[in-house]
Amino acid sequence: MKSFGIISELDNAGGVKLPDMLLGLYDLGAGDAMEMHLEGNKIIMRKYPPACVFCGSTKDLREYRDKSFCCCCADELKNY
């Protein structure tokens, strides 16, 4: 684990501001979904990869009205 020596306080809603350096380093921005899980006494966060709303695939995605879908499902829907 890499330590950056940066401390952030939780706001009243329980949110924490990530430093701009981390946002740029990991290509994060407003509206990005974050996945969190516990590992012992640590909270692990990572950018949540988008997935197809129909089958869950993360490959060959397209977007429509803020929803992701894969090419395979798009082809199936054409014939529906």
Domain limits, CATH 2.10.260, in the chain = 9-48
Residues of the chain with pLDDT under 70: 1
Q: Give the model's pLDDT for residue 7.
A: 86
Q: Give the model's pLDDT for residue 57.
A: 92
User: Can you tell me the distance from the alpha carbon of 61 to that of 50, in angstroms, rounded to the nearest whole number?
Assistant: 8
**Domain 9-48 belongs to what topology?**
Pemi-like Protein 1; Chain: D (2.10.260)
Q: Give the model's pLDDT for residue 32.
A: 85
CB 47 within 8 A of CB 33: yes
Global confidence as pTM: 0.54
Q: Give the model's pLDDT for residue 1.
A: 65
